Chain A
Amino acid sequence: MCGCFVSTLDEFSSGRSRGGGGGMADRQEQKLKDAEKWLKKADKLTKLSFTRWAADWSEATPLYEQAGLVYKTAKLFEKGKHCFEKAAIGQERLSSQWTAAKHLETAGGLAKELEAWPEVADLYKRASEMYMFCGKPQPAADALVRGAKAIEDSVPDDAIRMYLDSCSFLEDDGREQMAFDTYRAATNLYIKQQRYADAASMLLRWGQAADKCKAIQSQCKAYVSAILVYLYNQDLKAAEQCHNDCSQVDAFLNSEQNQLAEKVLQAYRDSDGDEVMYVIKSSKTLPHLDHMIVRLAKQLPVGGLKPVIGPSNDDLDENDLT
């Protein structure tokens, strides 16, 4: 693969023919030298100076691209990122936003290796803007999701924001079905951050999106997951409310997931921890939910079974009627 890179770049280099010369290291070095050359040349072409009144982007952009590729394969991330950014600017000037966005995404990927998180976020956001400019919300959303995934471990807030933006892009476009994965990722991130209320609200949003595209199974799963998250959050009232709301939907009302929800809520109302555990364990539909939710559900009664209104976290006191 390096060989064919080299052969395609040959036409730009000035008459070099290092065929079966040294080993891989030599070739690598040679390529790096070439990349340096191209980079310098491109910089010269684009830097405005006394003799040059207008930057020649059409020449410079391919050079930047090639240099960037070489750096990427050689794992020199900083330089590669720099090259790709410049290449993206070039493409923008050449009014080809699509390619520019692609380069920005690559640059973002390299920045992720460098762990320069703000830059990563910034690059991906720019990329997504370019995609939107081209009139393609789908790739824009995808770019945001990728960016969010890149930074979710380190800067979760930004990641969340990116996820939400991505979801709104798709919702506006009417293509919610593509957003399911995004919802799932956002929910998982919330749960990891232990922001359960937000997670539940995200799940409800997911359910709404599923309703719009008639994905009944996903919808029911989302609703039941929301109820379970509320319960895990020890918020029985909210869970009940949620259940009431969701029961308005016919599809959910008649589903297996609803049965599970009802059983669990009933057990909670009876304040019977064992019953809750039994219901969770013997349920057929629970294992098919998202694995994070399943993990929460398995801990459910242990997560603090309270009587209907009561703040105690201990095991249940059946005589407590407050």
Chain B
Amino acid sequence: MSVIDILTRVDALCKKYDKYDLDKQKGDLTNTNGDQFLKLYTVIEADIQAALEKSNEALGEKNRAVAVTLNAEVRRQKAALQKELPKLQRLAVKKVKGLSKEELEARPDLVLGLAQRVEEIPDGTALSRRPANGGWAGGPRNEIRIDVMSPDDTLRPEHYAETEESKGFRSEYEYRRDKQDQGLDHIADGLATLKNMAGDINEELDRQVPLIDEIDTKVDQASSDLRSTNKRLKEVVTQMRSSRNFCIDIILLAICLGIAAYLYKYVTSRSEATSGVEKDAGMQVKASSAAGTRKMCIPHILNLSVEVVGKAMAELIRSDLYQTFGRRRFTSKSKCRTGSWNVPKSGTHFKLASTSECEYTEHGLQKNVGSGSASFVYDKAGSSAFLMDHLEHGICIPHSTFRLLRW
């Protein structure tokens, strides 16, 4: 904002709020100091200004209603001002101190000038003083005078004659009226159609109301039937799965499981027997050597291990030797060689052959006493025979046959 703008704004604001400025008011008073004329003059002038502004506004106003109100106000103000003017005139002729003669004489003229200015304020009704010519109907350009008709006017024949403006006005009026009629006809057609459609819809709905009621009852019936059927179905199903039947189901299931378990046990116990022999063989050999018995269990076919056989044989041979030669101190070294297993499919027995060499040295002597080999014959039927053949070199160990029972 430039300085000039600021100055103008300040001026405007000051002017606006001047009335609140008590000093200035007092100043004014002291200025005019008893000069009533000047006071009144300034007041009237201000009012004239205001009225002029308003009338200008009214002239520029497009909205006729607003224009009319503004004009009415202007007229009121003019009337008020005109009332004030006589007062001013009286004051004008009064003598005031400190005023020159010329000024005093000029005052009435000022008053007259003021009066004229007041008259000239346009207030929307001012018409130039024309002869009463087109008094009846002025066109839209010229305002219609409603209050300036005198009784003489009606007597004159031209009073009712048509002017250009009035003809134009009339034709325009009729044109507008026809247009309106057309529009209204259009609307009426549309409304008639609407009414017809609405009436038809009404009848259709009336027709459908009993149908829908019927549907309603039927559907209610159907749904209640469905509900009762469902309930009965539920009852039947629960009865089928009642506790008594349920227990029977469980018992049968338990029996089936028991049978299955029994079968399973049977199968597994057969396999256990064969595997249990193997373990026993090792243990029993030691037991037999310690106790001198000759009983030995035959290991399970499939779990036979060469070492066991070899060791078993070695122990047997040693016990034999002990028996034969007494309890001399023998040390034995046994070497086991893997044997071959013949497992004939279709036979009831099979032959296992293994050889083991045992060196028995008599105390002090170092002599390979003998070696032996043994063959097992396993009888499927449940018992088995354990045959042992000794092939010895040097020392003759009697052939002995051991019959061992299995489990």
Interface residues of A (CB under 8 A from B): 175, 177-178, 213-218, 256, 284-285, 287-288
Q: Identify the interface centre among A175, A215, A216: most chain B CB within 10 Å of its CB.
A: A215
| A-contacting 9-mer, from B18-26, B58-66, B200-208 | B200-208
Residues from chain B with a CB closer than 8 A to the CB of A177 are 203, 206-207
- A177 vs B205: C-alpha distance when bound (angstroms): 11
**Chain B nearest CB: distance from A151 CB in Å?**
27
| Contact of B196 with A by CB under 8 A | yes
- A287 vs B36: C-alpha distance when bound (angstroms): 84
- A287 vs B200: C-alpha distance when bound (angstroms): 14
Whether A217 lies near B192 (C-beta < 8 A) is: no
**Chain B nearest CB: distance from A224 CB in Å?**
13
Residues from chain A with a CB closer than 8 A to the CB of B188 are 284
Whether A178 lies near B207 (C-beta < 8 A) is: yes
Whether B206 lies near A217 (C-beta < 8 A) is: no
| Contact of B216 with A by CB under 8 A | no
Whether B193 lies near A288 (C-beta < 8 A) is: yes
**Chain A nearest CB: distance from B266 CB in Å?**
47
| Chain A interface mostly | helix
Residues from chain A with a CB closer than 8 A to the CB of B84 are none
- Contacts A/B (CB < 8 Å), 9 sampled: A177-B203, A177-B207, A213-B206, A218-B203, A284-B188, A285-B192, A287-B193, A288-B192, A288-B193
Residues from chain A with a CB closer than 8 A to the CB of B200 are 217
- A214 vs B199: C-alpha distance when bound (angstroms): 12
**Chain B nearest CB: distance from A205 CB in Å?**
17
Whether A217 lies near B207 (C-beta < 8 A) is: no
Within 8 A of A (CB), among B179-199: 188-189, 192-193, 196, 199
Residues from chain B with a CB closer than 8 A to the CB of A287 are 193
A284-B207 contact in complex given A217-B199, A217-B200, A217-B202, C-beta closer than 8 Å:
no
- A175 vs B207: C-alpha distance when bound (angstroms): 9
Ranked nearest first, the 4 interchain pairs of A and B with the lowest CB-CB distance are A217-B199, A284-B192, A288-B196, A177-B207
Whether B189 lies near A217 (C-beta < 8 A) is: no
- A284 vs B195: C-alpha distance when bound (angstroms): 11
Whether A215 lies near B206 (C-beta < 8 A) is: yes
**Chain A nearest CB: distance from B186 CB in Å?**
11
- A294 vs B207: C-alpha distance when bound (angstroms): 25
**Chain A nearest CB: distance from B185 CB in Å?**
9
A282 — nearest CB in chain B belongs to which residue? B185
Residues from chain B with a CB closer than 8 A to the CB of A256 are 192
- A165 vs B42: C-alpha distance when bound (angstroms): 104
- A218 vs B202: C-alpha distance when bound (angstroms): 11
A220 — nearest CB in chain B belongs to which residue? B199
**Chain A nearest CB: distance from B377 CB in Å?**
64
**Chain B nearest CB: distance from A293 CB in Å?**
14
Residues from chain A with a CB closer than 8 A to the CB of B192 are 256, 284-285, 288
Known A177-B203, A217-B203, A218-B203; further 5 A-B contacts with Cβ < 8 A: A175-B210, A177-B206, A213-B206, A284-B188, A284-B189
**Chain B nearest CB: distance from A168 CB in Å?**
19
Residues from chain B with a CB closer than 8 A to the CB of A218 are 203
Within 8 A of A (CB), among B361-406: none
B210 — nearest CB in chain A belongs to which residue? A175
Residues from chain A with a CB closer than 8 A to the CB of B193 are 287-288
**Chain B nearest CB: distance from A286 CB in Å?**
10
**Chain A nearest CB: distance from B211 CB in Å?**
9
